A and B are shown apart, each in its own frame.
Chain A
Amino acid sequence: MADFIQLFVNGLALGSVYALAAIGFVIVYSATGVVNFAAGQFVMFGTFAGVAMLANAGLPWPVGYAAALLAMAAFGALFFAIVYLPLRTSPVVTVIIGTVAVGIVMQNAALLGFGSWPFRLASPLEGVTIDIAGAAITAHAAMVVVVTGLLVGLIWLLFYRTALGIGMRAVAQDAEAARLMGLNVNLLLALSWILAAVLAGIAGLLLGPMWFADVNMGDPIALKAFAATIIGGFGSLPGAIAGGLFVGLTELLGASYLSSAYKDLIAFVVMILFLLVRPQGVFGERIQDRG
Chain B
Amino acid sequence: MQHHKKSAKQAVIENYAALVRRVTPKSKVGQGCLRSFWVGGAICVLGQAIADFGINYLGLTASSASTFASMSLVFITALLTGIGIFDRIARYAGAGTVVPISGFANAMVSPAMEFKPEGWVLGTGARMFTIAGPVLVYGIASSVIVGILYYFIQW
Query: Are chains A and B native binding partners rather than an unrelated pairing?
Result: no
- Which B residues fall within an 8 A CB radius of A? none
- Which A residues fall within an 8 A CB radius of B? none
